Amino acid sequence: MSERGRPRTFDRTAALRRAMQVFWARGYEGASMSELTAAMGINSPSLYAAFGSKEALFLEATDFYSHTEGADIWLALDEAPTARLAIEQFLCLTAKAYSQNDRPQGCLITLGALHQDSSRGAICDDLRRRRAENHSALQKRLERGVAEGELPADFDSNAAATFFATVQHGMSIQARDGASHDALLATVAGAMAAWRTLAGGSAA
């Protein structure tokens, strides 16, 4: 399409990945433009020409995060044969992803911007929307378990989805506190211990 003009000398996707890592580690407000441009290996005019603004860069970085780092955790939901295994794998993959040492601990969507501000409304709203989508994905998978007879008809998929989503949010903070993979799995075990009770006493 547009091949005119001087060609860009940096890899836009690679730069976006670097920006994502900075936002992931520092949060939206904690990531300064100096740190971003340094990590991306470009000067600020190039950043603004390619991404528009710090806010637009963050929105694009979180979208990139969802499609790369956060993808496999949620893909496992629909692939698992039962709702129980789906939730268990969802939490186990979370425990693994949140405790890797070669990247920031915890989740960008969860920790990226928690404090509302007049100038940060769009950022908070976008992350909130993404978290709501995650809750919805959990709820839908549980409802499928009800439809398939795995879970009783009066199973509260909404309440259970809220519980498991909240556990995952807590694991982000636990991971930020330096929790090991095993410590995160202790939380997973606790959450899964609730399963048989929530599922109505019928052991899977």
Partner DNA sequence: CTCCTTTTGTAACGATCGATACATAAATAT
Partner DNA sequence: ATATTTATGTATCGATCGTTACAAAAGGAG
Residue type, 80: A
In contact, 107 and 27? CB cutoff 8 Å:
no
- Work out whether the CA dihedral 127, 132, 133, 134 comes out positive or negative: positive
Does 35 contact DNA by CB under 7 A? yes
Is 78 exposed, middle or buried, given 0-12, 13-18 or 19+ CB atoms closer than 10 A? exposed
Residue whose C-alpha is closest to residue 95's, from 179, 199, 198: 179
> In terms of CB distance, is 44 or 166 closer to DNA?
44
Judged by CB under 7 A, which stretch of 31-39, 65-73, 78-86, 159-167 contacts DNA?
Answer: 31-39
For residue 100, the minimal CB distance to its own copies (Å) is: 16
Interface mask toward its own copies for 124-153; x: CB under 8 A: ----x--xx---------------------
Q: DSSP string covering 79-105, please?
A: HSSSHHHHHHHHHHHHHHHHT-TTS-S
Is residue 67 a contact residue for its own copies (CB under 8 A)? Answer: no
Beta carbon nearer to DNA, 41 or 200: 41
Helices (H) and strands (E) in the chain, counts: 11, 0
Given a contact cutoff of 8 angstroms between Cβ atoms, the answer to whether 97 and 108 are in contact is no
Query: What Cα–Cα distance (Å) separates residue 40 from each residue in 3, 20, 133, 191?
Result: 23, 10, 29, 39
Which window, 65-73, 82-90, 137-145, 175-183, contacts its own copies (CB under 8 A)?
175-183
Work out how close the CB of 181 gets to DNA at its nearest, in angstroms, rounded to a whole number.
Answer: 33
Give the one residue of 33, 38, 122, 159 binding its own copies; rule: CB under 8 A.
159
Phi-psi map region of 102: left, alpha, beta (phi>0 left; psi -120 to 50 alpha): alpha
> Which of 110, 123, 126, 141 touches its own copies by CB under 8 A?
110
Among the residue ranges 32-40, 133-141, 158-166, 196-204, the one whose residues contact DNA (CB under 7 A): 32-40
Interface residues with its own copies (CB under 8 A)?
25-27, 29-30, 110-111, 114-117, 128, 131-132, 156, 158-160, 162-174, 176-179, 183, 186-187, 189-191, 193-194, 196-198
Interface residues with DNA (CB under 7 A)?
2-10, 29, 31-35, 42-46, 48-50, 53-55
